Amino acid sequence: MDKIIAIYGPTTSDKLGLALNLSKYIFGKYQIDSEVINVDSRKIYKEFKISQSLPTQEFLKKIKIDLFGTVSAKEELDIFDFQKMAKEKIAIAQQRGNLPILVGGSALHLLSILQSWEKGEKKQKRELPHNVFVFGVVINKLRLKEAVTKNVSQMFKNGLYKEFKELYKMSKGKEISLDLLEKTLGYRQFLEMAKVSKKSPLDLNATDLSKIEKWMIKDILGYAYHQTLDYKRFSGIHLVKDFKEAKKIIDLCFENHG
């Protein structure tokens, strides 16, 4: 099995749900097992459980997945570290005769894997390998706003601020990089509020957190918009709104490419 499926799209577009449904469909129709591999730059960190909405134990029972919450943030990865790990997982899945399904919203990380970038190489738009099929998940603005608002609200209920405070304490102890927190949606906003309010990030009050929640929704929506601009980076990308559209393309991929 040399095919590779990649699912790219904006945050909260339920890429993982689509991967699960495609995996079930492919096994049911073609008797091929799939392995879902994370290619999102932040979901690989195990300490980022709430901010990155990492898969639950219940979900993990449904399908084999790799590189979700498997590395400590103490071991901050650059794009080539990530690429190496992902390519190793892809090779292992293929050796088993399984289909790798790559899932994520980090366009550069995904492209570095699919196009085998090398350090020092000038990045340029290139055709993807013939065995790679990329799905771009499309979600309308209203649904995206509703999904982001609901997701952020749930993250706060699940203890996002507590998670951030633990990570911030680790950064003060030089266990993890403060720069990593500053560059991560879901943590950066706490640091920004602390700076604006001239407080310690550990001493934010309910009013501060309410403002942060609104900032976070706005920032994530802005990030999601920029993610959609990256569809064009993937040659031959198949834009789909749902599983129904995606499975038709899967059939074409398997029937036309063997």
What would the pLDDT profile of 49-93 be if each residue is shown by its tens digit?
999 999 988 888 888 999 999 999 999 999 999 999 999 999 999
Nearest to 209 by CA among 172, 145, 165, 150: 165
* DSSP, res 183: T
pLDDT digits (tens, 9 = 90+) for 167-225: 999 999 999 999 999 999 999 999 999 999 999 999 999 999 999 999 999 999 999 99
Strand, helix or coil for residue 1: coil
CA of 130: how far to CAs of 86, 92, 232, in Å? Answer: 19, 20, 17
Q: pLDDT band for position 1 (50/70/90)?
A: low
pLDDT tens for 218-243 read: 999 999 999 999 999 999 999 999 99
- Is 257 a residue whose pLDDT tops 70? no
Question: Which pLDDT does position 258 carry in this prediction?
Answer: 59
**pLDDT of 133 higher than 90:** yes
Kindly tell me if the per-residue pLDDT of 166 is higher than 90: yes
Per-residue confidence band for 144, with pLDDT thresholds at 50, 70 and 90? very high
Domain-wise residue ranges, the chain: 4-140+230-257, 143-224
Hey, what amino acid is at 65? I
| pLDDT (0 to 100) of residue 121 | 82
Q: Check: CB of residue 163 under 8 Å from CB of residue 201.
A: no
Mention the CATH class of domain 4-140+230-257.
alpha beta
The residue with tokens 């990380």 is 109
CB atoms within 10 A of CB 87: 16
